[in-house]
Amino acid sequence: MILNTLHDYVADVSPSLIITATVGLLMFMGLLTFISSVSEDVLPGVPELKGFPVLGALPSHLINGIPDTINRLIAIGSEGISYANVVSNVLVSVHEPALVREVLGYPDEIASREGDTSGGRMSWSPFLTLRRMCGQLSLFNYAGPGTRQQRSVYIREFNSNKSNMEKFDSVRRIAKDHADMLVADVDDIRYSADNFAIALWGETLYGNPHQNADDKVLNLSNTIMDLAGDPWPAIWYYIQLLFHIVSPGQATGSEAKLRSRVVEVVSHNIAKLEEYEAMNPKAPLKTIRNLSVNTGGGQTGRLSKVASEFANLNLFGGHHSIGLNVTWCLIELDKHPEQLSRLMGEIDAADTTDFAVVNNKMPYLDAVVTETNRIHPTVHATLRVINRETRLASASDVGKRDVILKPGMMVFISYLHLHTSEKFWGPDARQFVPERFLEPGRYNKEKMPLMSFGYGPRNCVGYKFAIMAVKVYLITLLKTYKIDLKDHNHEGKLGTLLEPSKPVAVRATRRT
């Protein structure tokens, strides 16, 4: 696998450059050996995941991936914090609610997703890889003075009841069209759910529910997601940077190819939007146009900068998470027939054509979706890169007097750990129990960290739209079919997202 990955990147460059790069890398390592031999403990009193001299945890990080490094850090940091050196980078894991809340509460000046890499400082942040592949990604990797204003535009568009009520009928229509397309033997229900979400985005943003013809969007977003969670692109980029093959922030050859596919799909979508607008001059504005108008763009023509950046982000963000959420709900309901029958009772008794009902008058459905997001948070981890030296104040709560986070340190946070640790949730932490959110006094918000949509000033600005889409598709599927999973054992696989480790084949029998 490593050789294949290397081959993909190496294909960009000539053999002589590769040899020069390798010699240069060895010299660079030698220099780092010297530096590391004279350097001191970076976080005194905090457990360190020991690795090789100079390379630190790099070999395991490359071979086993980022989620494995995070898990190993959690295992050694019983007090909620630990760290590893990875060459010249320091990866810190915080995994105690108070510490996590503090870090996610930092403003961008103290910590952000990408961090400050001016001066060529190495960073493993997957968000930088995403930026090289897709360009600026709207709010997701913006950390500047207009953040609050941008967030309020998104929140009005995706997290307000008013705008979601306006979208409700088209969500139902797309859900019905997609549910009707299901055949009796479905090879992978996740594929159908992803397709529903992509069509929904196509319709909502551009008036084009067919944007995924030939699986173009799905294939592209799968490639982007895989690379974002892979540490190799960062290595390859820094080697090229070291030898001035690329300039800071510039995409490598293979990343540039991917970027041109992104530009192609986004341009196609925008052409479809203009077609839709020309044919429906009196129709309400499509969502991407609304975003544009609310961030300085006109009623027609070129989109504002923020809106066109959202078109980039939307290519890989938003649909997998919705599709996976539906898939994990079906997996859990299949394993828990009692809960499924309680849910069916609620669905059958409700007027699911009414937005107000689906939005907040179906408590058991809400509990099922929340519980699914708890044990299977599709965004299972995040990170912040420290920009300004900061004392981690809440570390004193876990018996550490002075933990000083320094610029460039990367702080990893595992939402999956916070959601499933018995330490916070009790002995049934890993079990699917939607009732925990319904029985009075059972769910303690303070002690039981629930962060499926993040936390703090950079939490998710689209979660209400996402939850509505998940609920509507789930209701539509369950009302139309009896869904039986062919294989009842599905484990999670930690990649960039938390996915089922194999296709989720189902038998869909139409209800009469």
Return the beta strands (E) in 235-387 as ranges: 381-386
The piece of 114-122, 173-181, 203-211, 317-325 that touches ligand HEM (CB under 6 A) is: 317-325
Between residues 101 and 261, which has the closer beta carbon with respect to ligand HEM?
A: 101
Asked if 174 interacts with ligand HEM (CB under 6 A), we say no
- Asked if 461 is part of the footprint of ligand HEM (rule: CB under 6 A), the reply reads yes
- Contact pattern from residue 198 through residue 237 relative to ligand HEM, giving x for each residue in contact according to CB under 6 A and a dash for the rest: ----------------------------------------
Please, is 232 exposed, middle or buried when counting C-beta atoms within 10 Å of its C-beta (0-12, 13-18, 19+)?
middle
Site membership for ligand HEM, residue 139 (CB under 6 A):
yes
The residue among 36 and 163 lying less far from ligand HEM, judged by its C-beta, is 163
Binding test (CB under 6 A) with ligand HEM, winner from 95, 458, 471, 490: 458
Task: Candidates 221, 452, 476, 496: give the one binding ligand HEM (CB under 6 A).
Answer: 452
Interface with ligand HEM (CB under 6 A), residue from 89, 325, 352, 496: 325
Of these, 60, 211, 240, 321, which contacts ligand HEM (CB under 6 A)?
321
Could you report how far apart the first and last alpha carbons of the chain are, in Å?
48
Q: Whole-number minimum distance, CB 301 to ligand HEM, in Å?
A: 23
Between residue 146 and residue 165, which ones bind ligand HEM under the rule CB under 6 A? 151, 154, 158
Interaction between residue 322 and ligand HEM (CB under 6 A): yes
Is the separation of the CB atoms in 330 and 368 below 8 Å? Answer: no
Which residues are bridge partners to 506 per DSSP?
Answer: 186, 485
Q: What six digits make up the tokens of 261?
A: 């596919």
Radius of gyration, alpha carbons of the chain: 23
Would you say 48 or 366 has its CB closer to ligand HEM?
366
Binding mask 79-118 toward ligand HEM (x if CB under 6 A, else -) reads ----------------------------------x-----
Which residues, including other chains, have CB under 8 Å from residue 403's CB and lie 6 or more apart? Answer: 43, 45, 46, 81, 391, 392, 395
Rounded to a whole number of angstroms, the minimum distance from the CB of residue 154 to ligand HEM is 5
Nearer to ligand HEM, 113 or 167 (CB): 113
Q: What are phi and psi of 499, to 5 degrees?
A: -115, 160
302: amino acid identity, one letter: R
Unique residue bearing structure tokens 């990649």: 495
Among 128, 433, 460, 474, binds ligand HEM (CB under 6 A): 460
Nearer to ligand HEM, 93 or 325 (CB): 325
Residue 230 CA to residue 233 CA, distance in Å, equals 7
Contacting range for ligand HEM; rule: CB under 6 A; set: 84-92, 136-144, 168-176, 251-259: 136-144
Report the SS3 class of residue 40. coil
In the complex, least distance from residue 421 CB atom to ligand HEM, rounded to whole angstroms: 17
Q: For residues 265 and 468, which CB has a smaller minimum distance to ligand HEM in the complex?
A: 468
Using CA atoms, how far apart are residues 306 and 390, in angstroms rounded to an integer? 31
- Helix (H/G/I), strand (E/B), else coil: 83: strand
Q: Single out the residue of 9, 168, 206, 453 in contact with ligand HEM (rule: CB under 6 A).
A: 453
Nearer to ligand HEM, 60 or 372 (CB): 372
Determine whether the annotation assigns residue 460 to a binding site.
Answer: yes
Contacts of the segment 167-173: beta carbons below 8 A, 24+ positions apart:
167/204, 167/287, 167/465, 167/468, 168/355, 168/358, 168/468, 168/472, 170/200, 170/203, 170/204, 171/200, 171/468, 171/469, 171/472, 172/353, 172/472, 172/476
Closest to ligand HEM by CB, 129 or 240: 129
Q: Which of 218, 171, 211 is nearest to 467 (CA)?
A: 171
Dihedral angle sign, alpha carbons of residues 155, 94, 128, 373: negative
Ramachandran bin of 283, using left for φ above 0, alpha for ψ from -120 to 50, beta for the remaining angles:
beta
> Which residues make Cβ contacts (< 8 Å) with residue 181, sequence separation at least 6?
192
Smaller CB distance to ligand HEM: residue 394 or 414?
414
CB 57 within 8 A of CB 51: yes
Kindly write out the interface string for residues 258-277 of this chain, putting x where it contacts ligand HEM by CB under 6 A and - elsewhere: --------------------
- Min. distance of Cβ 212 from ligand HEM in angstroms? 16
Stretch of 69-77, 290-298, 320-328, 390-398 lying at the interface with ligand HEM (CB under 6 A): 320-328
Q: What is the 3-state secondary structure (H, E, C) of 108-126?
A: CCCEECCCCCCCCCCCCCH
Under 8 Å between Cβ of 252 and 133: no
> What is residue 430's DSSP assignment?
T
Touching ligand HEM, residues 356-415 (CB under 6 A):
378-379, 382
Residue nearest ligand HEM by beta-carbon distance: 462
140 vs 196, beta carbon nearer ligand HEM: 140
Using the contact rule CB under 6 A, the part of the chain among 210-218, 233-241, 351-359, 451-459 near ligand HEM is 451-459
Q: Please state the residue numbers annotated as binding site.
A: 460
Annotated binding site for heme: 460
Using CB under 6 A, list all residues that contact ligand HEM.
113, 138-140, 151, 154, 158, 318, 321-322, 325, 378-379, 382, 452-454, 458-463, 465-466
